[in-house]
Amino acid sequence: MAEVEKNQEIIPNSKPATKNTTSSSIFNRSVTMHSASMAKSYLQTTTRFYNSFESMKGKVKKLRSLFESPKPQIPNPDELQIQATHKLQSLKSMGPEYNRFPSFGFINNSKTRLPGTEDRIVVYLTSLRGVRRTYEDCYAVRMIFRGFRVWIDERDVSMDSAYKKELQSVLGEKNVSLPQVFIKGDHVGGAEVIKQMFETGELVRVLDRFPRQQPGFVCEGCGDARFVPCGNCSGSRKLFDEDEGVLKRCLECNENGLIRCPDCCS
């Protein structure tokens, strides 16, 4: 009887152990399944993020290739000399209108001359940005001459329409491209001719006889704009005639009420 009671005491004690083991195994299994699902979803999220990031990098590279120009390769000195020789030969072969002449460089065979400008460099240009290519060519030619620190007579057709008519009458053409350069009264050409003369070193020889300005020189009267408001009408283009009691057009300024700067263009 004692042994039976012991067995009966042992058996109830063993049942809770079995329940605890089963519940703990179920709990551990749920935790394991939950953690595995979390790890799987995390891996999927990470993979999607990585793939989207890689695709974004590819799109950025494509955009950069569209807007960024490739890095220029610096040629050897021998290659630069060969390129300069080819450019000089191409400039000489541009046609019969560009020939070397002993005094300063290139001259037009059509004998196109600008009277009264034998002592200067005259550049017809525009400061308006209506046509981007035209403005860039005018700006490039202007900066080339300013790099040599020579004074140039800038005749801006957008500031004074009389210069446009003057250029049309000299060249004998109605539609004239800008810029147009005259050196010592002789017609040299447009932007392409000046750029090639600059690259081949021909322009250096042409400008040797012209005086140089001080570095950083800027006209105090006009700020290198070459025009100032008319002092007679203060830029209004109108004057009051006291004798007749009416307003009259000022005859000293242009259509914009401007005159040539008396300090740097006299």
Residues belonging to the chain: 266
95: region left, alpha or beta (phi > 0 left; psi from -120 to 50 alpha): left
What Rg do the C-alpha atoms of the chain give, in angstroms? 42
**If pLDDT is split at 50, 70 and 90, which confidence band does 47 have?**
low
Q: In the chain, what percentage of residues exceed pLDDT 70?
A: 59
For residue 156, what are the β-bridge partners? Answer: 125
Residues 6+ positions from 19 with CB-CB distance below 8 Å: none
Separation CA 116–CA 77 (nearest Å): 43
Closest CA to 114 of 76, 73, 169: 169
Residues 6+ positions from 65 with CB-CB distance below 8 Å: none
Query: What are the pLDDT digits (tens) for 123-178?
Result: 999 999 989 999 999 999 999 999 999 999 999 999 999 999 999 999 999 899 99
Query: What are the pLDDT digits (tens) for 53-73?
Result: 666 766 667 666 655 555 555
Separation CA 12–CA 1 (nearest Å): 17
Closest CA to 233 of 208, 258, 216: 258
One-letter identity of residue 254: N
Mean pLDDT to the nearest integer, 74-85: 60
Q: Phi/psi of residue 118, each to 5°?
A: -70, -10
Q: pTM above the 0.75 mark?
A: no
Separation CA 108–CA 186 (nearest Å): 7
Query: What are the pLDDT digits (tens) for 211-233?
Result: 998 888 899 999 989 999 999 99
Note the pLDDT of residue 243.
87
Q: What interhelical angle do 132-147 and 191-200 show, nearest 10?
A: 40
**If pLDDT is split at 50, 70 and 90, which confidence band does 48 have?**
low
Is residue 179 reached through a cis peptide bond, with omega within 30 degrees of 0 on the bond before it?
yes
| Domains assigned to the chain | 77-217 (3.40.30.10), 219-266 (no CATH)
